[in-house]
Amino acid sequence: MTPKYEDREDRFQGYRGRARDVLEKYRIGVWSEVEARNDAGSVFTGVVLPRSENADPLHIVVKLTNGYNVGLHADRIAAARELGYRKAAYKIPEKDFPFDPKKKQVTLLGTGGTIASRLDYRTGAVIPAFTPGELYGAVPELADIANLTTKKLFGVFSENMGPEQYKALAIAIGAEIEKGVDGIVIGHGTDTMSHTGAILSFMVQNSPVPIVLVGSQRSSDRPSSDAALNLMNGVRTAAECDIAEVMLCMFGPTSDNYDLLHRGTRCRKMHSSYRSTFRTIGAT
């Protein structure tokens, strides 16, 4: 049974400003199946998705019937109506992450964005995962690699990483090393991952453990997503690698064969969407 519009407590989840005003005007909200028409006459049909707290206030995100997401500018929506309502279970059921005393201890530090996620096939929504239990539910292979704990330091877009975040990240890395962890993984957006890798290489010197930055070029709602493979290989590197320095672990070839490790001071992102976009500069 479809709940009444006024009874949907999460109908504006993540929306504010002009985008929220438009949702209210047409009495649509998050998880509404909608048909929207813009000022150019184009018609868009799909499900309104939630947005993150730091998203801009001008766009409404719709999962189209063809599977792609589109952002509709609030000021260009000329008409919209609700066709139905399909709410996703927007949380991954947590399972206790198995502890194995024989496996290494790895800490995953979150800086923002989605490190791993699972697709809700009924609505097409991507459900983010971060806690050990959520990650185990999304990528159960992690339990075969290491014992994992997670800490979310902050939630920013990678282009907004700056001196404040770099300092907090370096301090957090030092604290984990003092606790005796065997390796550290850092979830990071890909746009400025190489910058953070270079900066941390100078801020955290003579590290006794591997420090591995990971991210994904394509989200988990796409069949070609690189998120799970990058995360698994990043955790494996942190747990088993004997290279104790700052590295980036990202897709290697265009196929799903392997990832590459890049030194933090010599890596560059070469393309906006290729999975195999990261390359070591000066490699022979």
Q: Which of 107, 114, 150, 196 is catalytic?
A: 114
Cα–Cα distance, 248 to 274 (Å, whole number): 16
- How far CA 72 is from CA of 17, 58, 176, 244, in Å, comes to 14, 8, 42, 46
Residue 220 contacts residue 228 (beta carbons within 8 Å): yes
Number of helices (H), then strands (E), belonging to the chain: the values are: 5, 15
The CB-based long-range contact list for 252-257 (8 Å cut-off, 24+ gap) reads 252/276, 256/229
The answer to whether residue 191 is catalytic is yes
Q: Tokens representing 279? A: 């390359």
Q: Name the helix (H) or strand (E) containing 175.
A: helix 163-179
Q: Which of 191, 192, 265, 280 is catalytic?
A: 191
Residue 267 contacts residue 197 (beta carbons within 8 Å): yes
Cα–Cα distance, 210 to 125 (Å, whole number): 34
SS percent in the chain: helix, strand, coil, step 5: 25, 30, 45
Q: Which of 120, 221, 237, 269 is catalytic?
A: 269
DSSP state of 21: H
Which is nearest to 196 in space by CA: 100, 113, 73? 113
Q: Which of 107, 111, 190, 237 is catalytic?
A: 190
**Secondary structure of residue 135 in the 3-state scheme:** helix
Q: Which residues pair with 62 in a beta bridge?
A: 48, 70
- Catalytic center residues: 114, 190-191, 269
